[in-house]
Amino acid sequence: MPESLKGLLLAGESWSFLGEVALRSALSFILVLVALKCTGKRGVRQLTLFELVIILTLGSAAGDVAFYREVGLLPVALTLTTIILVYRLTTYLILKSPRLERLVEGEAVNIIEDGRFTDFFISENMSSDEFFMELRIRGVEHLGQVRRAILEVNGDVSVFRQPESETRPGLDICPEK
């Protein structure tokens, strides 16, 4: 194999290092899996921004051990343990302080009231196409059917429909045929 190609593929490492990378990757995967199990979290769709930051931080720490020979497993295990302990402490403090919970997790926001967008819709950085898709998934055809829509802290949209007798005309959210 030409030296330039070997340099490109291995960046100065030996071929045997690939086996070490595979082993380190498998071990870091197991460490992250155990760390995530310790958080007791649900599915990815239910993650809050805070939980996403934890997962990205865990992934970053675990990635270092996979690629860098000079990074040992014990420092990474300590890093993962520290992140989980900080996570657990933060969640405990959140339970004790509603103010801290709002700061860390955010708040649910009303984005539709009586079939009309509230001022919060613009501030939430959600495209109307994305929002309309969420409504269509829940069987809504036009905004007159919606009494209230709430953007939850995990990104889900809760929809409360108008009673059938109170449904009014509203903005059609279905794509054109």
Residue 177 lies in a domain: no
| 94 and 15 in a common domain | yes
73-96 and 49-67 helices, crossing angle to 10°: 170
**DSSP assignments along 39-103, one per residue:** HT---GGG--HHHHHHHHHHHHHHHHHHH-TT--HHHHHHHHHHHHHHHHHHHHHHHH-HHHHHH
Q: What is the pLDDT of residue 45?
A: 56
Token duo for residue 40: 């007791």
Classified as helix, coil or strand, 37 is helix
* Spatial distance between the Cα atoms of 144 and 116, rounded to a whole number of angstroms: 8
Domain that residue 136 falls in: 108-166
| 95 and 15 in a common domain | yes
Tell the burial category of 79 from Cβ atoms under 10 Å away from its Cβ (0-12, 13-18, 19+).
buried
Residue 1: which residues within 8 A CB-CB, separation 6 or more? none
| 82 and 41 in a common domain | yes
Tens-level pLDDT at each residue, the chain (177 residues): 566 776 666 667 777 877 777 787 777 777 776 776 666 544 455 667 777 788 888 888 778 777 777 777 777 778 878 888 888 888 899 899 989 888 877 788 888 888 888 887 776 666 788 888 888 998 888 888 888 999 887 778 899 988 888 778 877 877 776
Residue 174 lies in a domain: no
* Spatial distance between the Cα atoms of 57 and 43, rounded to a whole number of angstroms: 18
* Spatial distance between the Cα atoms of 69 and 55, rounded to a whole number of angstroms: 23
From 88, 104, 120, give the residue that closes a domain: 104
* Spatial distance between the Cα atoms of 148 and 112, rounded to a whole number of angstroms: 5
| 99 and 134 in a common domain | no
| 44 and 15 in a common domain | yes
- The pTM for the full model equals 0.57
Q: What is the pLDDT of residue 174?
A: 79
User: Number of folded domains in the chain?
Assistant: 2
